[in-house]
Structure 1
Amino acid sequence: MASSPSSSPPAPVYLPGGDFDLVKILVVGPFGIGKTTAIEAVSEIPSLHTEEPMTQAAASVDDLAVNGKTTTTVAVDFGRITLPTAHIVLYLFGTPGQERFRVIWNDIAHGALGALVLVDTRRLAASFEVMDLLEEAGLDYAVAVNQFPGTPAHDLALVRGKLDLEDHTPLVTCDARDRQSVLNALRTLANHLVSRAGDDSP
């Protein structure tokens, strides 16, 4: 009896030919905000994740009830996406959201052009620490409100005020599970970074 053929691995997705800018982007936010999900949803290559099971030992520093999470990123998430119309290839690095991983965060942030900050309207204050880190590093960012199932919609002007965002900082909504939604948020960030680079030109 012949054995059934094994499924073939996906074909590799190579970098596009031509004149593309290669850009390092951080995907950041507090614990349990959807960073791993967003990178997995949008990456054109098999995304890399360094998640480990959470234990009761983390209860004193992490909210183990957040979104029913049972794992947490302990090093980095990585993915890649090409924006052909903008001639940009984005390398996406998801960073741990907890303060105890700050040393790793600093290393990952080195060389990044900007960041997409994911926030949850149910716990906006949890995002301040990450935004402070970005501002300390001098990185521009856009903010995306991750629309978790069952979360009520909020006026973005109200969210902007609660987060105390600068007028120029983009604020959008997205669903971290949906590829097109995350792509739209990344395009918003890319346009913002191009605009800010123009502002800094002599």
Structure 2
Amino acid sequence: MAASDPTPAGTPAPDAVKILIAGGFGVGKTTMVGSVSEIVPLRTEEPLTTAGLGVDDLDGIPDKQATTVALDFGRITIGDDLVLYLFGTPGQQRFWFMWNDLAIGALGAVVLVDVRRPESSFAAIDFFERRKIPFVVGVNGFYGEHPYEPDEIREALALPEHTPVLLFDARERASCRDVLIGLLDQLIATSAR
């Protein structure tokens, strides 16, 4: 056993599961990955510049200062036998071409929704439905508020009954963990169907 190998000889390595954290521009993907990751997350954030004027839609998020230009990456260990690798997708339409590559090997996804701008999440929902990648919808409570019930959000987004809609706060680790557990429950239910 090498000095840098933390797995004792004969102990099986944990299963690694790739999960995408997706959604529109400014819905909280980077915040969620950073909140729940047990490692310092890899971030590819860059400051918003005048080059994005007229390209990046800042309606509803006028204080946004930076944006993800490739991906966010984090890790969370669920148990001795399971590790989740989290890949946060870029939100702007000009970077959506990367989603196809990021989705390769993904077991499931969390689609984040900002109820102030629900239309920003339609493309992500469509992306996973078309590829038949199981997902849950995480409704990020900006300012700690959730003005709508999950059933109202499900109806507004035209989601099937079997797609979980979970209220959470992307700034809180336990809340993000609960959404990931909801996704794991969805993956188990999907495999049983």
Residues in 1 aligned to 2:35 and 2:144: alpha-carbon distance in whole angstroms: 20
Q: Which has the higher helix share?
A: 1
Identity across matched positions, percent: 48
Match of 1:73 among 68, 71, 75: 68
**SS at 1:76's partner residue?**
strand
Instruction: Describe how 1:158-197 pairs up with structure 2 within 5 A.
Output: 158-197=152-191
Match of 1:100 among 67, 72, 94: 94
TM-score scaled by structure 1?
0.86
Q: CA deviation at 1:170?
A: 0.8
Q: CA deviation at 1:45?
A: 0.9
Please say if residues 114 and 140 of structure 2, whose CA atoms lie closer than 8 Å, have aligned partners that are also in contact: yes
Residues in 1 aligned to 2:49 and 2:20: alpha-carbon distance in whole angstroms: 27
Q: 1:92 to 1:15 in 2, by over 3 A?
A: farther
Instruction: Describe how 1:97-176 pairs up with structure 2 within 5 A.
Output: 97-149=91-143, 151-176=145-170
Gapped regions of structure 2 (runs ≥ 5): none
Residues in 2 aligned to 1:187 and 1:143: alpha-carbon distance in whole angstroms: 12
Residues in 2 aligned to 1:135 and 1:155: alpha-carbon distance in whole angstroms: 22
CA deviations 1:31-60 (Å, max 9, x no partner) are: 001100100010011110000111122121
Matched positions, count? 186
RMSD (CA atoms): 2.0
Q: Which has the higher strand share?
A: 2
Q: CA deviation at 1:102?
A: 2.1
**Paired AA for residue 84 in structure 2:** L
**SS at 1:49's partner residue?**
strand
**SS at 1:39's partner residue?**
helix
Q: CA deviation at 1:146?
A: 0.1
Gapped regions of structure 1 (runs ≥ 5): 1-11
**Paired AA for residue 71 in structure 1:** A
**SS at 1:75's partner residue?**
strand
Please say if residues 97 and 130 of structure 1, whose CA atoms lie closer than 8 Å, have aligned partners that are also in contact: no
Counterpart in the other structure of 2:18: 24
Write out the 4+ residue segments of structure 1 that deviate beyond 6 Å after TM superposition.
none
Residues in 1 aligned to 2:38 and 2:7: alpha-carbon distance in whole angstroms: 10
Residues in 1 aligned to 2:75 and 2:62: alpha-carbon distance in whole angstroms: 26
